[in-house]
């Protein structure tokens, strides 16, 4: 009988990162377009080129100052054992996410994420304390906060975690473009390849931001998300 080769800690952390950052991770992310559906119905996003422009603008003008920054801060607050800072960050996100659909999506995905990773993290005091706060309605449990907390507990490097969430966010948007615009799968992969320099910019820029930057955004994304609530027909929840 062959003796299994032990997996070192770094490799195990990589496996955790690949699993929790997978676009197919069962938390319902595929049901969200985050306002993209409105852009498509209005003809603003209509082909591969406009899909690429939309993706870059969304990442640099919205995602950077909200979910990506929240992931970085949640990782740092978790590493410092500062549960009060995590609570403050989570409540700040509730205030910053003005469109109802975006706020609801962030919370639903966060709660589902916490339930899935609980199998691996249950019994971890810091994780249990924060999820108890969510259940007690002390805070809401936004996805980016719980993701940042979880990847720290999985001993995942901060930059690796932020890189993964950049890619998974872009991949989800590209998949939505393939369904809604539509664009071909080949065009979608070309867009992702072309987005790597943008990911590098995001990782560089987010390190210089502070908690006060949470909520900075382009109003266009919020407005399209609000308009999405009243679309006559729609495929996505947000």
Per domain, the residue ranges of the chain are 44-228
86, 90, 95, 96 alpha-carbon torsion, rounded to 10°: 90
CA distance 55 to 57: 5
Band of residue 1 on the pLDDT scale cut at 50, 70, 90: very low
Model pLDDT for residues 197-233, shown as the tens digit of each residue: 999 999 999 999 999 999 987 788 989 988 888 887 8
CA distances from 132 to 122, 128, 135, 139, 146 (A): 11, 6, 5, 10, 12
Tokens of 12: 């195990």
Phi, psi of 7 (to 5 degrees): -90, 125
Of 38, 37, 92, 88, the residue nearest 67 (C-alpha): 92
Model pLDDT for residues 13-25, shown as the tens digit of each residue: 999 999 999 988 9
Decide if pLDDT at 108 tops 50: yes
With residue 70 as reference, give the H or E element that holds it: helix 69-79
Find out whether the peptide bond into 182 is cis, omega within 30 degrees of 0. yes
pLDDT value for 220: 87
Decide if pLDDT at 167 tops 90: yes
Q: Confirm if 192 and 168 have CB atoms less than 8 A apart.
A: no
pLDDT value for 238: 76
Placement of tokens 């006559």 in the chain: 232
Given this structure, which CATH class describes domain 44-228? Answer: mainly alpha
How does the average pLDDT of the chain come out, rounded? 93
CA distance 31 to 116: 17
């Amino acid at each position: 009988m062959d003796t299994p080769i032990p997996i070192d800690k770094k490799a195990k952390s990589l496996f955790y990162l690949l699993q929790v950052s997978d676009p197919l991770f069962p938390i319902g992310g595929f049901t969200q377009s985050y306002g993209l559906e409105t852009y498509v119905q209005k003809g603003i996003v209509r082909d591969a080129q406009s899909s690429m422009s939309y993706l870059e603008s969304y990442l640099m003008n919205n995602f950077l100052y909200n979910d990506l920054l929240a992931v970085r801060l949640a990782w740092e607050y978790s590493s410092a054992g500062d549960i009060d800072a995590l609570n403050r960050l989570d409540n700040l996100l509730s205030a910053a996410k003005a469109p109802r659909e975006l706020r609801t999506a962030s919370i639903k995905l966060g709660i589902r994420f916490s339930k899935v990773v609980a199998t691996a993290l249950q019994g971890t005091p810091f994780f249990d304390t924060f999820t108890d706060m969510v259940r007690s309605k002390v805070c809401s449990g936004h996805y980016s906060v719980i993701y940042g907390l979880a990847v720290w507990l999985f001993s995942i490097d901060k930059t690796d975690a932020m890189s993964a969430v950049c890619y998974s966010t872009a991949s989800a948007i590209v998949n939505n473009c393939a369904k809604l615009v539509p664009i071909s799968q080949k065009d979608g992969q070309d867009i992702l390849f072309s987005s790597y320099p943008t990911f590098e910019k995001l990782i560089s820029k987010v390190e210089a931001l502070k908690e006060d930057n949470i909520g900075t955004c382009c109003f266009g994304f919020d407005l399209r998300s609000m308009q999405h609530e009243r679309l006559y027909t729609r495929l996505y929840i947000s």
